[in-house]
């Protein structure tokens, strides 16, 4: 894979598509149209595309609701009572966890709060949270308000690790140094597995080890990691993780979120949690007894009756992931993003108007390349949109920003439905714009 020599021409891109065993999966997806043609959709990092099977499966569950009503929980092919089990099975290889360590429930920010209820237990001596500067805003607000909820001052309790002056990415050693420095006062380390803005993948294993050495708990928000980069949550000994299903996991706007709780915590009766009846031990749940008795595993963190209608697209999508095989998807992803990088470099060599800030090393990034642009960046973005490319634009907000950039264009070709030709067409437009 790494020995592949790329060529900047359409025939070469098409040859890679012909050789790609995952290419047929593209046919399963619905593409937004531009002038009667499929757009080049590079926004799977914000909202993955809808697969064609979703509508049929949704209609099936509506029919089951119509014909079975309450019995839909207990009978038929997909009883709602056990609906989450297949999701956990198919998520297991994607998250590097056992099915019992996984649960699909709620939405992401809610799950982040629920996990912090259990895993952020500050004391007067140990109350700090270490996180990356410039984390996704929802995570910043969740952390800030959790800290306040426990009566601490965010200015003292939140330690943000920033890029060095004039740089965009975090150094591993700066993260580890922060853990070392604040270790004995730190209750929780919370990082995005993949930074949403720069596309940088953090060394989750090293962070987890360092955090545990310091006596802290370690959790990850994998919103940009799930279905994008390989993770081994169980083997890395991560305490908890959360993610959403509507980005790389293609499960629809506001789709159900997932949570991971390491097996060593699930039987711990002293671990506090906010409970609801759906997290009660399943075989005796309907006896409706007083006194909460959690179900084993991550399922014991459920609160409410599951939202089946948002779990249907997730089920369909995870079946596609299982068919494609996550490892094969990742192998294609490395090639596809490698090709994108190669072509962008060819063009950016001719101009100083933009440059890639995402790490070069394939194991330190996923699909996404973040392209930092100068003043006229918004102009370039508008040009691409006008020519049928869908991607997204973020005003600059890097912690160490020197004020010279206008913003970042995030380009995320996904291995499930994007092609090498998509990538080539995109680069062709970039070149036309520059010259
Ligand atoms: C997308 C994203 C979110 C969004 O949270 P929701 O609760 O699903 O709206 C939160 N955190 C991160 C890191 C994200 O990338």
pLDDT digits (tens, 9 = 90+) for 316-364: 999 999 999 999 999 999 999 999 999 999 998 877 788 999 999 999 9
Q: Label the pairing between strands 33-34 and 37-38.
A: antiparallel
Is the pLDDT reported for residue 400 higher than 60?
A: no
What integer pLDDT is reported at residue 405 of this predicted model? Answer: 55
pLDDT band at 401 (very low <50, low <70, confident <90, very high): low
Q: Which atom of ligand 1 is nearest to the CA of 109?
A: 7
Span 228-247, mean pLDDT? 98
Q: pLDDT, tens digit, for every residue of 2-16?
A: 557 999 999 999 999
Of 223, 258, 259, 366, the one to substitute when testing ligand 1's pocket (max ligand atoms within 8 A of C-beta) is 223
Where do the domains of the chain lie, and which CATH numbers do they carry?
10-30+326-434 (3.90.1150.10), 58-323 (3.40.640.10)
Q: What is the pTM of this model?
A: 0.96
Ligand 1 neighbourhood includes 138 CB (under 6 angstroms):
yes
Residue 174: CA count within 13 A, CB half-sphere: 15
Query: HEC profile for 339-386?
Result: HHHHHHHHHHCCCCCEEECCCCCHHHECCCEEEEECCCHHHHHHHHHH
Q: pLDDT, tens digit, for every residue of 255-277?
A: 999 999 999 998 787 799 999 99
Three-point CA angle 170, 42, 410, nearest 5° = 30
Ligand 1 neighbourhood includes 191 CB (under 6 angstroms):
no
Query: What is the Cα gyration radius of the chain?
Result: 22
CA dihedral 42, 6, 325, 209 (to 10 degrees): -90
Pick from 240, 241, 229: nearest CA to 415: 229
115-127 burial, b at 16+ Cβ within 10 Å, e below that, comes to bbbbbbebeeebb
Strands of 217-221's sheet, edge to edge?
102-105, 257-261, 240-243, 217-221, 186-192, 128-132, 158-161
Span 180-206, mean pLDDT? 97
What integer pLDDT is reported at residue 354 of this predicted model? Answer: 86
Is the pLDDT reported for residue 399 higher than 70?
A: no
- What is the rounded average pLDDT for all residues in the chain? 94
Q: Residues of the chain with pLDDT > 90: what percent? A: 86
Q: Which atom of ligand 1 is nearest to the CA of 246?
A: 8
DSSP assignment, residue 29? Answer: B
C-alpha to C-alpha distance for 426 and 402, rounded to whole angstroms: 29
């Amino acid at each position: 894979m790494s020995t592949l020599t790329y060529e900047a021409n359409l025939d070469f891109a098409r040859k890679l598509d012909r050789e790609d065993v995952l290419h047929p999966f593209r046919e399963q997806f619905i593409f937004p149209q531009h002038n009667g043609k499929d757009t080049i959709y590079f926004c799977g990092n914000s909202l993955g595309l809808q697969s064609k099977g979703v509508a049929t499966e949704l209609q099936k569950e509506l029919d089951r609701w119509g014909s079975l009503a309450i019995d839909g929980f207990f009978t038929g092919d997909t009883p709602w009572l056990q609906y989450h089990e297949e999701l956990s099975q198919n998520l297991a290889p994607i998250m590097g966890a056992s099915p019992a360590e996984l649960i699909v429930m709620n939405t992401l920010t809610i799950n982040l709060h629920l996990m912090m209820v259990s895993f952020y237990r500050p004391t007067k001596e140990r109350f700090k949270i270490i996180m990356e500067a410039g984390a996704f805003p929802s995570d910043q607000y969740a952390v800030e308000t959790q800290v306040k909820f426990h009566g601490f001052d965010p200015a003292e309790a939140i330690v943000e690790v920033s890029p060095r002056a004039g740089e965009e990415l975090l150094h591993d050693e700066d993260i580890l140094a922060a853990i070392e420095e604040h270790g004995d006062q730190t209750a929780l380390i919370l990082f995005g597995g993949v930074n949403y803005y720069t596309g940088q993948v953090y060394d989750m294993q090293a962070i987890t080890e360092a955090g545990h050495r310091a006596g802290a708990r370690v959790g990850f928000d994998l919103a940009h990691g799930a279905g994008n980069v390989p993770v081994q949550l169980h083997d890395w000994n991560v305490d908890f993780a959360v993610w959403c299903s509507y980005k790389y996991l293609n499960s629809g706007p506001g789709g159900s979120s997932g949570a991971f709780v390491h097996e060593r915590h699930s039987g711990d009766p002293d671990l506090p949690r906010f409970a609801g009846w759906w997290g009660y031990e399943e075989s005796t749940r309907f006896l409706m007894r007083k006194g909460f008795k959690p179900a084993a595993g991550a399922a014991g963190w459920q609160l409410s009756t599951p939202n089946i209608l948002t779990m249907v697209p997730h089920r369909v999508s995870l079946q596609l992931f299982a068919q494609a095989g996550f490892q094969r998807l990742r192998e294609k992803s490395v090639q596809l993003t490698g090709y994108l990088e190669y072509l962008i470099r060819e063009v950016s060599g001719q101009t100083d108007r933009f440059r890639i800030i995402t790490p070069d090393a394939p194991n330190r990034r996923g699909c996404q390349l973040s392209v930092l642009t100068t003043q006229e960046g918004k102009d370039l973005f508008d040009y691409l949109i006008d020519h049928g490319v869908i991607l997204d634009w973020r005003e600059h907000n890097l912690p160490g920003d020197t004020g010279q950039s206008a913003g970042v264009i995030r380009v995320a070709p996904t291995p499930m439905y994007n092609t090498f030709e998509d990538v080539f067409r995109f680069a062709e437009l970039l070149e036309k714009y520059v010259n």
